[in-house]
Chains A and B, each alone.
Chain A
Amino acid sequence: MAASFEGPRPRPAERRQGRPWSALLVPLAAVAVLSACNAGKPLVPPNDGFAIKLNLLCTTCDDFLHCRREPDEAVATPGGPEPRLVYRLGEKSFWAQIATIGDYLFQMFRQKRTDQRPVSIYRDDGITRTVEPLPTRAFIDAAAGTLVLPDTRIDLRNGDWLNDRGERIGRCEAMVRRDGYQMVREFLGRAPAAGSVNGAPAAGKSP
């Protein structure tokens, strides 16, 4: 082996000892580039003027939309509860929740405008109560302000309930979530939540 008077070449880690600022400059440059990409854009399109506000970034939220046909053809049975039809946008599935990490990490590059949520229909015609999970997901377009349900559509800006031809068939409004959960308990035949905001007992009708 030939002798060398130069000694061993410094290893990369040792070479970096002479330029410690690289440890600071690389992350700073990365942050500066990413910040420039975002440039003050809100994470989701603003929904300030919307009649129905849905949080696109919430993975565990339940949203309850109470829809009434106009003119309302459903008639309450004497002494019975009001007929109602409620769309429940449920929380995302396990894998869909995990996938939202991308929404947070890539929000620096692109704004989240759409979302999909599982949906079920809670229907009470005054005599029977049914819960119908739908196989298709609800599609939220926050930029256009529409919620596309498997059978109908809702204009989130004014709450109009539209059929698949775009004709107005009624009106929808977002329920207070606690009222929504109370309704679910009523449908399941459970007592309302202790200390619930409304505190009103359930209508006393079990399925």
Chain B
Amino acid sequence: MTIRKFGRGVALALRYLVGVFFLFAAINKWRENYLFSNKLYRVLSDRLLEIDPESFGAWFIEHIGLPYYQPLAWMVCWGETFIALGLLFGFMTRTAAIGAVLFNVMLTIGGYYDASLIVLTLMYLPAVLLPTGQWFGLDRRMLKRYPGSIWFR
């Protein structure tokens, strides 16, 4: 029983840690006005100069990232915000955690890959695999209100 409680505590702590991490990332995006400026374009341009021009990341930034920076900026800004709120409040928790994993995939494709993404993905997985929103969060209440809904499990 104690081990189970400890495991739940660790899973919840990881969820909040990741939630705070995404919250700060989202706040940063809002403060820098990603939605209505060319900030992401400048960030990607700088990154293009940092990485090997023969890498896939460089190709992706040149052909996808820079031409479509505006919709990508909206995805990043709103995506990080919803992931942060979902993980912190335990609302649609598993969906938010899956979103966090997808963010890592996007970062990898976009040329921001490094070994830390492996560990970060492992940190997100407990919130995907375990019903942490049922243990502590709004999902428990929402599932009572909408029994059978897959979003609050």
Q: Which residues of A contact B (CB under 8 A)?
A: 13, 20, 23-24, 26-28, 30-31, 34, 38, 55, 58-62, 91-92, 94-95, 97-101, 104-105, 108, 176-178, 181, 193-197
CB pair A176 B49 closer than 8 Å? yes
The interface on chain B, measured as residues whose beta carbon lies within 8 A of the other chain's beta carbons, has a size of 29
Residue of B nearest to A107 (CB): B24
Check: B30 CB closer than 8 A to any chain A CB. no
Q: How many A-B residue pairs have CB under 8 A?
A: 77
CB pair A193 B20 closer than 8 Å? no
Q: A61-B50, A108-B24 are in contact. Are A97 and B89 (CB under 8 A)?
A: no
CB neighbours of A178 from chain B (8 A): 49, 53
Cα A94 to Cα B90 with chains together (Å):
33
CB pair A23 B114 closer than 8 Å? no
Contact code string B128-141 (vs A, CB < 8 Å = 1, else 0): 00000001111011
Q: A30-B20, A31-B20, A105-B21 are in contact. Are A55 and B50 (CB under 8 A)?
A: yes
CB neighbours of A177 from chain B (8 A): 49-51
Cα A177 to Cα B17 with chains together (Å):
35
Cα A73 to Cα B136 with chains together (Å):
70
Residue of B nearest to A178 (CB): B53
CB neighbours of B21 from chain A (8 A): 104-105
Chain B min CB distance to A2 (Å): 24
Segment 75-116 of B: residues with Cβ below 8 Å from A? 88-90, 113-116
Q: A30-B16, A97-B116 are in contact. Are A23 and B90 (CB under 8 A)?
A: yes
By Cβ-Cβ distance, the 3 closest A-B pairs, closest first, are A97-B115, A27-B88, A97-B114
Q: Which residues of B contact A (CB under 8 A)?
A: 16-17, 19-21, 23-24, 49-54, 88-90, 113-116, 118-120, 135-138, 140-141
CB neighbours of A20 from chain B (8 A): 138, 141
CB neighbours of B138 from chain A (8 A): 20, 23-24
CB pair A101 B119 closer than 8 Å? yes
Chain A min CB distance to B8 (Å): 11
CB pair A23 B89 closer than 8 Å? yes
CB neighbours of B135 from chain A (8 A): 13
CB neighbours of B118 from chain A (8 A): 98
Chain A min CB distance to B112 (Å): 8
Cα A44 to Cα B121 with chains together (Å):
25
Cα A97 to Cα B119 with chains together (Å):
10
Q: A98-B119, A105-B17 are in contact. Are A27 and B89 (CB under 8 A)?
A: yes
CB pair B53 A60 closer than 8 Å? no
Cα A58 to Cα B53 with chains together (Å):
17
CB neighbours of A99 from chain B (8 A): 116
Residue of B nearest to A196 (CB): B53
Cα A72 to Cα B102 with chains together (Å):
52
Cα A104 to Cα B53 with chains together (Å):
26
Chain B min CB distance to A31 (Å): 6
Residue of B nearest to A176 (CB): B49
A-B contact pairs, 22 of them (CB 8 A): A20-B141, A23-B89, A23-B137, A24-B89, A24-B138, A27-B16, A28-B88, A38-B24, A58-B50, A59-B114, A59-B116, A60-B51, A60-B114, A61-B51, A91-B114, A94-B115, A95-B115, A97-B115, A98-B116, A100-B114, A177-B51, A178-B53
Residue of A nearest to B138 (CB): A23
